[in-house]
Amino acid sequence: MAKRIAVLMGGRSAEREISLISGAAVADALIAGGNDVTLIDVGPGVAAELADCKPDVAFNALHGRFGEDGCIQGLLETMEIPYTHSGVLASALAMDKPTALTLFAEAGIRCPEGVVATWDDARKGGAMAPPYVVKPTNEGSSVGVILVTEDGAIDDLAGDDFPEKVLVERFIPGRELTVAVMGGSPMGVTEIKPAAGFYDYQAKYAEGGSVHVVPADLSDVVFEACMNTAAAAHDRLGCRGVSRADFRYDDSQDGATGVYLLEINTQPGMTRTSLVPEIAAANGMEFGALVDWMVEDAGCQR
């Protein structure tokens, strides 16, 4: 049945450009399915725009802060508009990396050791012995992530490039893996092979920056460990709809002991070549069917 759908996209986060691409791809699929679609580039007037178009559902194609951290979800709850992806609490928990890691540890999920430190301590190497990774505590899509392999490696970077507090995590050598979760069930594992070096923002989005191997070439034990851990993490935070769990796999260790969860993404990319649509396609679900499922799954917390 056709619906009136508002696609929320753009916004003001560091991931604005990727969100615009996700939103356009989603809108094309929804229009092809016969829906009445309004595209909203989210700004201060978003509440008025939503009130004007009176959608049956809001498809949240925002990435990063405001769109992925519980803020837009709270607005949609207040306006009683069903929306895709996770609710207010799960979104806020997943976006605050230190809080999410604490909850994962309490559930027995293996994650890299990490500490919250000042940018100055991280820059000078006072938070942890290298190699380690420095990342903002509340950004997505590898925004601002730096790999430090030796003392003083980032000493010359300007402090203005980072917030006052950052998350410093032990670097896990090995392979980059990701798992799509749909309605609480894991769909498959992808290995991401950066063209050069570390899987940072450039490797994630630049043309030719990485190669995706779907499904990942893993032992059954490691494959199942990734799938089960992704589902457990999704459940632990109370996520809804589609999420994506990112992992590092140290293949020098025995079996599943080398699998480390990095984070949960509650608003994964939704271009036709993004990781979640790729995994869905490998399972026989075309992009339009995936988008339709997400719309049907939309809801509010009330």
φ/ψ of residue 119, rounded to 5: -55, -40
DSSP 117: E
List, as one string, the DSSP characters of 131-179: SEEEEETT--TTTT-EEE-STTTTTTS-GGGS-SEEEEEE---SEEEEE
- Measure the CA–CA gap between 235 and 206, rounded to whole angstroms: 32
Tell me the CA distances in angstroms from 191 to 10, 188, 195, one per residue in order: 28, 10, 13
Instruction: Confirm whether 141 is a catalytic residue.
Output: yes
Q: Which of 13, 15, 67, 138 is catalytic?
A: 15
* Nearest residue to 67 via CA among 137, 142, 15, 4: 15
φ/ψ of residue 108, rounded to 5: 80, 20
Instruction: Confirm whether 244 is a catalytic residue.
Output: yes
Q: Which of 22, 141, 142, 274 is catalytic?
A: 141
Instruction: Confirm whether 246 is a catalytic residue.
Output: yes
* Nearest residue to 190 via CA among 207, 170, 169, 210: 210
Instruction: Confirm whether 265 is a catalytic residue.
Output: yes
Instruction: Confirm whether 15 is a catalytic residue.
Output: yes
> Looking at the chain, which runs of residues are DSSP E strands?
4-9, 36-41, 57-60, 114-118, 132-136, 146-148, 165-170, 175-182, 185-194, 210-213, 242-249, 259-265
Q: Which of 244, 258, 274, 278 is catalytic?
A: 244
Q: Which of 248, 263, 274, 278 is catalytic?
A: 263
Q: Which of 87, 246, 258, 278 is catalytic?
A: 246
Q: Which of 74, 205, 209, 272 is catalytic?
A: 205
Q: Which of 23, 265, 274, 278 is catalytic?
A: 265
Instruction: Confirm whether 205 is a catalytic residue.
Output: yes
Q: Which of 11, 188, 258, 269 is catalytic?
A: 269
* Nearest residue to 262 via CA among 279, 274, 250: 250
Catalytic residues: 15, 141, 205, 244, 246, 263, 265, 269
